[in-house]
Amino acid sequence: MSDPRDAESEKRAWPAIWRGLKCKCPKCGKGWLFHHYLEQVDHCSECGEPLAYYKAGLFLPFVVITVVIHIIAAVMLDIELRGGASPMAYLYTLVPLSIIMPLAILPSSKGAIVGLMWAKGWSDEQDR
116 binds Zn ion, rule: CB under 5 A = no
Where is 75: in which H helix or E strand? helix 59-81
28 binds Zn ion, rule: CB under 5 A = yes
- Shortest spacing between CB 6 and Zn ion, in angstroms: 24
46 binds Zn ion, rule: CB under 5 A = yes
Tally of CB atoms within 10 A around 110: 25
Tell me how far apart the alpha carbons of residues 58 and 47 are, in angstroms, rounded to a whole number. 28
Beta pairing partners, 40: 34
> What sign does the CA torsion over 67, 69, 75, 77 have?
negative
Tell me how far apart the alpha carbons of residues 34 and 37 are, in angstroms, rounded to a whole number. 7
71 binds Zn ion, rule: CB under 5 A = no
Of positions 17, 33, 44, 119, contacts Zn ion by CB under 5 A: 44
Residues shown for the chain: 128
Tell me how far apart the alpha carbons of residues 125 and 52 are, in angstroms, rounded to a whole number. 9
31 binds Zn ion, rule: CB under 5 A = yes
Of positions 7, 11, 35, 47, contacts Zn ion by CB under 5 A: 47
Based on CB atoms, which residue is closest to Zn ion, 16 or 64?
A: 16
25 binds Zn ion, rule: CB under 5 A = yes
Based on CB atoms, which residue is closest to Zn ion, 26 or 68?
A: 26
Q: Which residues bind Zn ion (CB under 5 A)?
A: 25, 27-28, 31, 44, 46-47, 49
